[in-house]
Chain A
Amino acid sequence: MTYDPDVKYQKSHEWARKEGTLFTVGITDYAQDSLGDVVFVELPAVGKVVKKGEAFGVVESVKAASDVYAPLSGTIVEVNSKLKDDPALVNKEPFGGGWFVKIQASNPDEYEELLSFTEYEAFVKGL
C-alpha cells in the first residue's frame, strides 16, 4: 500500500493535491486496490459546481460501481480525459496519471480539514 505524503485525504478514500487555489483530486491506492481492475470512470462536466462530501463521479471496476466524493467544494475546471481510453491508469498510477478532476475551490480552507497522510494511513490500518 502506498501513500503520497504531499496530498491530503478524506475517509471515503479520495485525495486532493493543492496547486494554489486549484486542487487535483483522485482516489487512493487503497481505494483502487480494494476496487480491483477499473474499467470505467464516469466524470462530471466541466463547469459543474460540487459541494464537499457530494458524489461527483463513479468509478466502475470489474467487481462494483462506487461513488467518488468531492473532498472540497468548488467548480470542476478540468477532467482527466485520458481515463476514457485507459481507465486502468487509476490502478497503475492512483496518485499520478490516474487523477480524476481539478476543482477550483470556493472555500480553500476546507483543504486544512482533510487528513494528513499519516492520519489517513493510521485510518486505513484500522479498517
Chain B
Amino acid sequence: MPIQYPAGPIEEHRLVRRSAGLFDTCHMGRIRMHGPGSFHLLDRLLTARLKDLPVGFSRYSLILREDGGVLDDLFVYRLGEEEWFIVVNASNVEKDLAWFQNWASKEGSIQVEDLSSRLGMIALQGPRVMELLGHVAQVENPSLIENVSRPNIGGVRAEAFGTEDLSPSQTRLAGQGEKSAQGSWTPPERFGWSWVWIGKDGSGGERNTVTPGLEGGDKGRQRREDMRESTGTGRPAREGPREGAPATPGVRCLLGRTGYTGEDGVEIFPPWEDTPTVWNILLESAKEAGIEAGPAGLAARDSLRFEPGFALYGHELSEDVTPVEASLLWACDLEKPFVGRDAVQKRKAEGPKEKLVTFVMEEQAVPRAGYPVADETGRTVGRVVTGLYAPTLDTFAGNAFVVSDLAGIGKTIYIVVRGALKKARVVKRPLYKPAYRS
C-alpha cells in the first residue's frame, strides 16, 4: 500500500468520509486455523470472548504475552464451529504465525496455515459502499446454489482459493437468469461475513466474465479463459448465461462487514490472483454508477483510524504496553482464562502508571509520534504515539501515553515541538463517532 495516491492523503480521507475509498491491504497477514480443539485453543490465546461468537461473524481481539504485553491486535472470523480466519498486522505476521503454530503443535489436531499469499485483501470503506456493492456483489445464498456445499477456506475447496479451475458444476447458480444483481445483494450485518461473487453488471443483470487486471498474471488469465469455456455454449460468457447454461459470476470472495475507518464498509478477500480484477471492477463500477470512489493510501488510513479512536500496532500498542494502559480492557473477557489474563488483572488492580490519552492542540503546531509530552514546567510526563492533522475535525491532534495524574479529560499538557512547549488539551475519545454506531 502506498503512502498516498495522486489525490493526496487529505482528499483521500475526505473521500472515504463522504463516499467510498479503496485500500490495498494485501500487506496484512491472513491466517487460517482449523481442526478439533481449535475453539478451545483460540479461546485461550485471544482476549476476546469467543463462546458467543457465532459462525458468520467476526470480532476484534488482542493476543498477549504471559506478562500482559500486547503481541498483536487482530480480527477473528468464525468460518465454522472449528474453523477460524484471523487477520493480523503486516509487521507481526511471522511472530503471530510462530505463536499460533507453537501452541497448535501441542495439540496435534489443529492446523495453522498462512494464507497471506493465497488471498488478497481490499478494504472498501465509506457511506456509499453498500450502494456500490449492490451493483457488483451477489451473496452466495446456499438456496441459490446447486452442487456446491458450504465451502471451506484454504486448500479444501480449490474453486475459491486454490489454483484449480472452476468446473461448470461448481459455478452454476440456480435461478441466475431471473435474478438481477441488485436484487440478490443483501449485505451482512456489522461484523458479519458472507461468501460473495463480485462481477460487473451486464445489461440484463447477468454477470459478465471479468477481465483480468493488469497484474492478474497468466494464471488469472488462464482461469478466466477456462471459465469462459465452461459456459459450454461455445460463445464467450460476456453474452450472458442462457437457459440451462452455467453462469460465470465473477470472482468469489470472502467479504466481512468490517473496517478500520469509522465508516460503514467491507473488507474483501479474493483469491490472490484475482485481487487486481476485483479492485478494477469496484473502481469501474463506481464510475459507471456515478458513485464517487477512489484509492486511498496509508496516510489516509492512519488519520481515518485515528479520528474514531482505533489503536494501531507500533503506535498505541506494543509488547511494552498492556490492555490496561491502552484502554483496551473492553476487548478482554476477564471472566475466562486467557494467556496474559493474570498480568492484566494485576495491572488493573494496581492502577497503571501511565495511560493512553487523546489530545487536541490548542496552540498551532503539528504533533508527531515520538515527540515528548511535558507539563507546564517542562518536565517530561509522556510521549506522543500518534500525531497528525485530523482532516474531518480540521485540527492537529494525537494520542499520547502520559502519567496517570495528567490523563484526565480537560487536563492541559504540552507537546514538545522542536524544543518549544505547545499547549494541548486532553479530550474524550472518540473525536469522530463511527457512522455505524448509533
Contacts and interface: CB of A to CB of B under 8 A. Distances in A.
B4 A39 contact: no
A40 B9 contact: no
Contacts of A62: 4, 8-10, 299, 303, 388-389
Interface residues of A, number: 13
A31 interface: no
B397 to A, nearest CB: 12
> Among A37, A84, A88, which residue has the most Cβ atoms of chain B within 10 A?
A37
Interface stretch (B177-185, B266-274, B363-371, B430-438): B363-371
Given A40-B364, A40-B396, A58 B418 contact: yes
A47 to B, nearest CB: 19
Contacts of A40: 364-366, 389, 396
Contacts of B11: 37
A40 B11 CA distance: 16
A60 interface: yes
A52 interface: no
Nearest to B9: A62
Nearest to B388: A62
A91 B8 CA distance: 11
A57 to B, nearest CB: 11
A58 B10 CA distance: 20
Given A62-B9, A62-B299, A39 B368 contact: no
A40 B364 CA distance: 8
A36 interface: yes
A18 B11 CA distance: 35
Given A37-B9, A37-B10, A40-B396, A60 B3 contact: no
A65 B417 CA distance: 11
Interface of A: 36-37, 39-40, 42, 58, 60, 62-63, 65, 84, 88, 91
21 contacts: A36-B4, A36-B8, A36-B9, A37-B8, A37-B9, A37-B10, A37-B11, A39-B366, A40-B396, A42-B365, A60-B366, A62-B9, A62-B10, A62-B299, A62-B303, A62-B389, A63-B299, A65-B366, A65-B368, A65-B418, A84-B364
Interface of B: 3-4, 8-11, 299, 303, 364-366, 368, 388-389, 396, 418
